[in-house]
Amino acid sequence: MRWAWAIAGLAAAALILAGCGGSDSDPSSEATAPPLTAAHAREANATCEEMLRRTKVLGQGFIERASGATPRTLLELQTELLVQPGLDVLRDTARRFRRIAAESGNPELSLYAGLYEPLIQVGELRLQAGREGDPAESQNLQRQMEEIGAEQRQLAVALGLESCRIDFLRALVESWSS
């Protein structure tokens, strides 16, 4: 049962750190939109790779500390060891993507970068719910973050950003065996 809570915690972190996804765009704007250059695509992929590296570190630290935790303390550990630092990772990544998107002028990359803001906002609400000891609200907020992350992943596919099609839950789970 403890590992079920740990997996749920990793899912929460995955959602918070799930900063890669997609959205529908106006087809009429695509004709005049500047294409994503190879240099901007490389920088975007490198940004996602850095986010993945940091995510793995968070997952490893969480697993080391979560062993033997009760459901109540596990929510606290998730909140402080995954959610709080995950928000820092998201903020850093969002800043980098806003800059890359502005430099590229590509509207799809701007949409992708813009989805970090709702992720961060919902992540901050998740942080608050965790600190208040509300697992039901924490799960509700995780689901909202999953939806935003799914949109980002769709955009990453459309943009051809292979490294941004990251499954953060898998990255966190893989961090257990690293």
Query: With contact defined as beta carbons under 8 Å apart, do 159 and 112 qualify?
Result: yes
- Neighbour tally for 63: CB within 10 Å: 20
- Identify whether the C-beta of residue 27 lies closer than 8 Å to the C-beta of residue 172: no
Per-residue pLDDT of the chain (178 residues; tens, 9 = 90+): 443 444 445 445 544 555 554 344 444 444 566 889 999 999 999 999 999 999 889 988 888 888 877 877 889 999 999 999 999 999 999 999 999 999 999 999 999 999 999 999 999 999 999 999 999 999 999 889 888 988 998 999 999 999 998 755 555 556 666 5
